Structure 1
Amino acid sequence: MMVSPPVPAISGADFDVVIVGSGVAGALIGARLAEAGARVVLVEAGPRTDRAEAVEGFRGGAYPYPSTDWAPQPSRPGYIVQGGPVNWTGSYVRRVGGSTWHWLGNCPRLLPSDFEMKTRFGVGVDWPISYDDLEAWYGIAEQELGVAGDDEAETGSPRSSPYPMPPIPLSSGDLLFTEAAAAMGLRLAPIPQARNSVDGYQGRPICCGNATCYPICPIQAKYDATIHVDLAERAGARVIENAVVFRVDVNRAGKVTGIRYRTPDRDAHTITGRIYVIAANGVETPKLLLISRSEATPNGVANTSDLVGRNLSDHLTAITNAISPRPYRGTRGPLQLAGFDEMREGDFRAERAAFAGQINHSVGNPLALARQLIRQGLAGPELFQRIGDTAPYQVGLAALLEQLPDPANRIVPDETQTDALGIPLPNIIYAIDDYTRAGKTAADALNARLLDAIGAIDRVASDDMV
């Protein structure tokens, strides 16, 4: 991929479109508009990343042993302030291409019923649009990201266009669950994912099973937003990196008049355009709008509803791990390939959360296994032998749970803490309701039945959702 030289800070320049953020949303918009002839600039808080250097850093990194409580702690607390009863465990990165550098790549669609939760199940809220309103746009998004999927799979989400690529073949570990799932009325199906199953789509290679989809795909078989950043630059767009936006300027009429950002030397710059797009992710976008208070926008930009930053949700994950009766070797291939969609839909949604079942290939961690065995008293040659005998048999199931909208789950600018540039940190107030917890109970029970059905032993379900 072409890597352009860094663009110096720009002050006062006027563009047709100013986009804050170069992740998947900002990059897609930037590429489409630049190709249509618009003068586009993407303002990115982080640096460019050289893939080869990032892969080398990942492979050569030291294992992150936790710090001891009595040792000096020179590093500051985390960037995100945890202000609620439950810590929000999501994450994101600041760099050109955004968090798609580290995402898994799964691309399931919502179901039609997801847009009508209040009408159908008496919980949550109905959307002002329907699945049908978005369906064609889903197809366009799948083309842009390069999604591999099974056109014949019964996912519950009607389609008017085929996937760009056929599904990635399932692994032998996935196929362990075929009969057990069928006996429970479940169908094992490929998960749609933005990962090449054929060589050359968007100039990317076919997936070769490195099993490091996160933190990084070393060959870019998995989509990341640098694909569209590159397309935008080829069409004439500019990218300003290491530029942290801290204010949206609005005049008395309520019209945006400029974007202010700081560079690492703390110098402030203003950039203007005819159209502004804030695509800084689900945490930074509301924080930016809320810190941009003015006489015209006393509650923050675009916040007359008082809903900016509210209704934060996540796809919380319940995980169950066990030891398979046959070698599983989960690290051969992408980190997830197949799952079960039947538990995403049903009248039970009036009482508890739906979930998508998935087979995890990210188990088989010898270091985690070693810690577990050491706690059991093993050491020396016996420990070494047990790790070698056990690691290839580790198997895991995951359940991705829905959350209902809750205005109390929100992002606000922290009133007392700032980053190195003097910009308020995001304070996340977050909780998990009984509806979602009831979904985890059902997910744990189904995972246990599936693992028991294949003869797995030493089954352990996570206490928390991640």
Structure 2
Amino acid sequence: MELNRVSAAAVEGGHYELVIIGSGFGSTFFLSQAIEKLKGRVLVIEWGDFHPWAWQIQSQSNTLITPDSTYRNLGEKPWNTTIALGGGMNCWFSQTPRLHPSDFATRTRYGVGHDWPFGYDELEPFYGQAERIMSISGDPDMARVLPRSTPFPQPPHRGTAIDRLMKAAMPDYHFITPTARPRVATEHRGACCSNASCNLCPVNAKFTAENGFPTLFGHPKVDVVLKSQVQRLEYSGGQVSGVEFVHDGRTHHVSGDLFVLGANAIQSPAILLRSGMDHGDTGRGLHEQVGANLEVFLDGLENFDGSTITTGLNYFFYDGDFRKERSAALLYFENRWPYGLRKEPGRHREILPMMIASEDLPHRDNRVTIDPETGQAIIDYRGESDYGKRGVEHAFANLDKLLAPLPVESIQFKEWRLTESHVQGTLRMGVDGDGSVIDAGMIHHRLRNLVVVGTAAFPSCSPANPSLTAAALSLRAAHRLFG
């Protein structure tokens, strides 16, 4: 990966056309579209370091900075982030379903949550663009539930014998999981080897900033300052004028014309709060999915013959008027054995691990604040909603009906999942005055040259993995600004 790394001292007092804070999905996809439209220079300020794929494999780590060292957690629930160049693109498992059209209007349709300020159709072209950039392997049949204007760039992964039975019985609900783990090798990425070590992919198959944007951070217009934590924004008259950041114990300042805040859904609100900018529900509404693990014992049907870690997605419990009372649920059919194989001789593979993920309702009291003395981010999370739990419980209680095409011997609830590692919702989009922080173009309601990207912008919680949507939102935001 080409990297134009510069020192903090070298940029001290400098002025840039674009200053980007953080380098995860939101920031990187925004930069990828903006770079050719800019006449001046870009500065990327990243708290972490650059850890190449080879280093990550050798060290068996995505970063040297542990998540819990970057905030104080008042509760027990873990909140996983990756502080490094590329952010979550280093550690993600690269599941890439789109959000469902109903996810954008849960308040209008079902009277719960917050509507997005635009609908699925507005984001759909940018979903397709993000899928092309990431070389997504996907099932064309998914258009039955998630309309699309362009085909997936790569063919779907090979499903299991279980997936084949489920797809035949439920063609409108069961699909092969779309992923940024390619079925076919690309110029910079190998094909998925299905070894279930996606956070540290041994064959460099999954999409990352390093293999997906190999020249972006080395572009002649781009400077990158690493190991530098942004403390606050400087602003007046509705415009951000500069950024204060700390490197190696010393404070530095840069100024700019346009700013992009994409530090993550914990640190981005913390930066605004340290800056004295708490417009709307800044820092409030922290959320992610509610999840549970289970196992299905099968009678005479073997599993684990698919070509990637998770092969099946089932939407049977996803959408309908029931969302007025309980959450949507998405079921993941696994091609791995997190609890081991069956012990009976000759029946080791007659088992189906599954995961249920449901949406949750963002609550204002689940929030990020800052320590008034140190400025450190504090997570005050009071717990998931009963609404989110009811969706999981309903799906589990009716799983025997869903799995009727399979020779089911027994179904076992294993555990509630501690986290999905999806930190969302602390700087949500909306209309000024409704509690939102940014508008439909992802521009701050009060600071009109500040773009907020990443999953902090999500107004509501879908059962689906959020990374593809974060990328698509940034592509759309850059398009609206630069054409």
Q: TM-score, normalization: structure 2?
A: 0.76
Tell me by how many angstroms 1:351 deviates. Answer: 0.9
Q: Quote the Cα distance in structure 2 between the aligned partners of 1:391 and 1:235.
A: 55
3-state DSSP of counterpart to 1:395: strand
- Aligned residues of 1:444 and 1:461 also touching (Cα < 8 A): no
The 3-state SS of whatever aligns with 1:460 is: strand
* Equivalent residue number for residue 353 of structure 2: 396
1:21 corresponding residue in structure 2 = 22
Superposed displacement of residue 312, structure 1: 1.8
Q: CA deviation at 1:309?
A: 1.5
Residue 313 (str. 1) matches residue 287 (str. 2): yes
Structure 1 distance, partners of 2:269, 2:380, is 11
Note if 1:281 corresponds to 2:233: no
Measured in 1, the distance between the counterparts of 2:163 and 2:176 equals: 13
Per-residue deviation, residues 237-296 of structure 1 (Å, max 9, x unmatched): 121111111111113x23211111112x21111122111100111111111111112xxx
Q: Which residue of 2 aligns with 1:192?
A: 178
Match of 2:196 in 1: 211
Partner secondary structure for residue 392 of structure 2: helix
Residues 336 and 90 of structure 1: CA distance in aligned 2, closer, same or farther (over 3 Å):
farther
Taking the aligned partners of 1:283 and 1:365, their CA distance within structure 2 comes to 32
Structure ID, larger Rg:
1
Alignment partner of 2:218: what SS?
helix
Contact 2:144 2:172 in 1 (8 A): no
> Does the CA contact (< 8 Å) of 1:155 and 1:341 recur in 2?
no
Matched, 1:43 2:52: no
Relative to structure 1, the CA distance from residue 22 to residue 185 in structure 2 (aligned partners, 3 Å threshold; closer, same or farther) is: closer
> Whole-Å Cα distance in 1 between the matches of residues 225 and 347 of structure 2?
49
Quote how far apart the aligned CAs of 1:454 are. 3.0
Choose 267-276 or 28-37, whichever is displaced more. Answer: 28-37
Which has the higher mean CA deviation after the structures are superposed, 24-33 or 345-354? 24-33
1:77 and 1:397, CA in 2 relative to 1: closer, same or farther beyond 3 A? closer
| 8 Å contact kept, 1:321–1:395 | yes
Letter in 2 for 1:414: D
Q: Displacement of 1:22 after TM fit?
A: 0.9
Question: What secondary structure is seen at the aligned counterpart in 1 of 2:265?
Answer: helix
Contact 2:244/2:252, CA 8 A, preserved across alignment:
yes
| Residue equivalent to 2:315 | 341
1:28-59 alpha-carbon deviations (Å, 9 max, x no partner): 12222223344111111101112122112229
Aligned-partner Cα distance in 2 for 1:331–1:283: 39
Map 1:111-260 onto structure 2 (within 5 A).
111-170=100-159, 174-179=160-165, 187-200=173-186, 203-213=188-198, 215-226=199-210, 227-228=212-213, 230-251=215-236, 253-260=237-244
User: Relative to 1, partners in 2 of residues 1:268 and 1:160: Cα closer, same or farther, differing over 3 Å?
Assistant: same
Is the contact made by 1:364 and 1:391 (CA closer than 8 Å) also made in structure 2?
A: no
- Indicate conservation of the 8 Å contact 1:180/1:454, yes or no: no
The correspondence of residues 424-435 of structure 1 with structure 2, limited to 5 A, is: 424-435=376-387
1:459 and 2:412 aligned? yes
CA deviation digits over 1:367-419, x for unaligned, max 9? xx8xxxxxxxxxxxxxxx95998865553111111112322222111346x5x
Secondary structure of 1:161's aligned partner: coil
Q: What amino acid sits opposite 1:286 in the alignment?
A: P
1:445 aligns with 397
RMSD of aligned Cα (Å): 3.0
Percentage of identical aligned residues: 27
Alpha-carbon separation, structure 2, partners of 1:77 and 1:193: 28
Secondary structure of 2:272's partner? helix
Distance 1:136 1:275 in 2: 25
What's the offset of the Cα at 1:105?
0.9
User: 1:225 Cα deviation (Å)?
Assistant: 2.4
Are the structure 2 counterparts of residues 362 and 121 from structure 1 closer, same or farther at C-alpha, using a change threshold of 3 Å? same
CA change 1:317–1:229 in 2 (3 A) is farther
Aligned residues between the structures: 410
Q: Distance in 2 between matches of 1:312 and 1:396?
A: 29
Residue type of the alignment partner of 1:47: D
Task: Give unpaired runs (5+ residues) of structure 2.
Answer: 420-483
Query: Does the residue aligned with 1:144 lie in a helix, a strand or coil?
Result: helix
- After TM superposition, give the deviation of residue 426 of structure 1 in Å: 3.0
For the structure 1 residues 78 and 273, does the alpha-carbon distance in structure 2 shift closer, same or farther, using more than 3 Å as the test?
Answer: closer
Moved more, 110-119 or 432-441: 110-119
